[in-house]
Amino acid sequence: MRKEVWIPRLLIAVSVLFIGVMLVLPLVVVLAEAFSSGLDAFLRAVTDPYTLKALRLTLTATVAAVLINTLFGLTAAWAVTRFSFRGKGILSTLIDIPFAVSPVIAGLVFILIFGRISPLHPFLDAHDIKVVFAEPGIILATVFVTFPFVARELIPTLEARGTDEEQAAALMGAGFVTIFRRVTFPHIRWALLYSVILCAARAMGEFGAVSVVSGHLRGKTNTLSLHVEILYSEYQFTAAFAVSAILAAGAVLMLTARNIVEYLAHKEDDFNVR
Amino acid sequence: MYVELKNINKAFGDVHASRNVGFGIARGVLAALLGPSGSGKTTILRMIAGLERPDSGDIFIDGARVNDVAPGRRGIGFVFQNYALFRYMTVFDNIAFGLTVQKEPAAAVRRKVLELLSLVGMEGMEKRYPAQLSGGQKQRVAFARALAPNPKLLLLDEPFAAIDAKVRKELRAWLRDMIHRLGVTGIFVTHDQDDAVETADEIIVTNNGRIEQKGSPQMLYKAPATPFVTSFIGSSAPLENYRRLKGFENGSGAATGAVRPEFIKIYKEVDGITYENSVEEAVVEDTAFRGTYWEVSLKIKNMTLPARYSLEKAPIAAGDKVKALVYRLYAFDGDNVTLLENRNLDTHNGANRYSI
Ligand SMILES: Nc1ncnc2c1ncn2[C@@H]1O[C@H](COP(=O)(O)OP(=O)(O)O)[C@@H](O)[C@H]1O
Ligand SMILES: [Mg+2]
């Protein structure tokens, strides 16, 4: 057979094999292990009070990360694409820091800032504010790690759509809020939703940074990922995999949502963008 | 003057987009900013609108200095080069935008939008989205949208650039008519001299960030102020040394200038010639049919000059020896231009016979 026929087949085969072994297989194993001791055992693990507490904390951190990062991501993307100012290049690079540094380092940074060795500590202690080894630390770490998603997705979108329509609106006397709501937002809504989904997916599964600031206080500062680790290290394999299954289900849900958003966005673009 | 710019300078980094720009436009006039691409036309328009801040200089609208007035408060309608219609709004909502921003009651908005739609000849299209419109229709919607809040000044950036040749001619007449009917003042930007000459009451020629000349289309054609305007408006050919031509020998040394095809008359038959002492021997280099006349390229004393030749006369072809009379030309002196008449014709007092 000719070379041109072989190359695509080879590439496809390699990709399918790799994705199968590295991505699909683990997912299948997780589900198989979760149900290996029967449905009852699975339900018991999932409805365990500590699991539920961990789930609640994971959801809280995820919602906080999504809200805060949407707000600041929008602000940063707007600033970078709509204004020219000194240090714009640096700001645009700084946005990527959470992707560049290891999450563990991010966690350590929060310990340094808010922990016992921090100069802030006496003040925090005096006002009974707990950041590290408490929920605020978990939320901060999650926000930090997922910050770039919204900004990174919106910057190219805002850049590509240009400022003409916004200027046209401003010339007709529209204020900032009207311009954003009626002109800019329709352009970025799908990109925003897309980035929120990615941000949420990442926030749910975050382990490294959260692990450092949590202190692993079961029922207090445990997220689902941390809870899985604890269960696993206590040889409660079924329970560990059952809780993992919750996270896996969340991930699949997010991927599905992402694909739907992608599909809808493409459909709209085909219509509206020349 | 309804709009007045005084000593405007604007630089983007090293690029001087406006150098000492100053001009005024009277109320109700439709003016064109005409110049090659990159000469600073859009920058001037955007500064008038407030979308760009001049580095120095003053902008007045209706007597008031507007440098520090926000774009939305200058009473300006702006039609962007690519129209910048709101892509996610219907035609109706696009046109209504400026009115709803001003919190006009819904019924009044509706009445005004429908009125504007019929003014621009787009009745029944209010539910369409911009993506469903042709270039000409988008332009009309952009025009209606800019007019909705009743601006006193309408600015248009390259309004005809994206329109094909046939619709373009109609649109020029339409724009001219509309501006005058509404009684607003208009400024449009174009790099196409036909757009400017056929549409504008007044033309402001820009080049390299400067204003070269301002005047009526006829005046720019007849009395160009600079060599640039001479070559940019109408057609012309440069002359390296016009003193070699009969009737223009006065003075000494080489002198540069330009000549228009309309300034040269070709004679095939010798008996038509009255002014032997002014006539040059010429060889036809090339002819091209232009529908209503021949465009002819003549070789006179080693110079190649353009001329026109009537279809009514005996035909000429490349290689023919003919006589040519250059009865006027433009002489350049630095940045100044003077119109020179053929001296030999003056003595015969026959210049009028040859006027265009
Ligand atoms: N926002 C900008 N940033 C940098 N350079 C610009 C900007 N706008 C215009 N220029 C430059 O200024 C000059 C004049 O531009 P412009 O006013 O758009 O010319 P025109 O409309 O006549 O084509 C050009 O050299 C252009 O590259
Ligand atoms: Mg331009």
pLDDT bin (cut points 50, 70, 90) of residue B356 is: very low
Average pLDDT on B3-22 reads 95
Query: B35 CB less than 6 Å from ligand 1?
Result: yes
A244 vs A55: CA distance, rounded Å? 11
pTM, entire model: 0.82
Say how many Å lie between the CA of residue B195 and the centre of ligand 1. 21
Average pLDDT on A96-109 reads 89
Ligand 1 atom closest to residue B36's alpha carbon, by position in its atom list: 22
Question: Using one digit for the tens of pLDDT, what is the confidence trace for B245-301?
Answer: 888 888 776 689 999 999 998 887 665 556 667 788 888 988 888 888 889 999 988
B215 vs B222: CA distance, rounded Å? 11
B330 vs A197: CA distance, rounded Å? 70
Q: Is B145–A168 a contact, with Cβ atoms under 8 angstroms apart?
A: yes
Does residue A144 contact residue A97 with C-beta atoms inside 8 Å? Answer: no
Query: B37 CB less than 6 Å from ligand 1?
Result: yes
Nearest CA among B315, B313, B268, B311 for reference residue B293: B311
- Helix ranges, chain A (H): 3-19, 25-34, 38-47, 49-82, 88-94, 97-100, 103-114, 121-126, 135-146, 148-161, 164-171, 176-178, 185-205, 208-214, 224-233, 237-272
* CB atoms inside a 10 Å sphere around CB B235: 13
Average pLDDT on B100-118 reads 93
Check residue B275 and give its pLDDT: 66
Q: Is B84–A168 a contact, with Cβ atoms under 8 angstroms apart?
A: yes
B8 vs B210: CA distance, rounded Å? 10
Three-state DSSP at B64 gives strand
A13-27, B81-95, B335-349, range with the lowest pLDDT: B335-349
- Using CA atoms, how far residue A63 sits from A223, B102, B281, in Å, is 13, 37, 90
- As residues whose CB is below 5 A from the ion ligand 2, the structure lists B 42
Query: B17 CB less than 6 Å from ligand 1?
Result: yes
Residues in a beta bridge with B237: B259
Nearest CA among B145, B141, B120, B138 for reference residue A172: B145
DSSP string, A65-95: HHHHHHHHHHHHHHHHHH---TTHHHHHHHT
Average pLDDT on A145-164 reads 92
Compute the residue count for chain B: 356
Question: Using one digit for the tens of pLDDT, what is the confidence trace for B144-201?
Answer: 999 999 999 999 999 988 788 888 888 898 889 989 998 999 999 999 999 999 999 9
Nearest CA among A161, A144, A194, A182 for reference residue A78: A161
Identity at A79, one-letter amino acid code: A
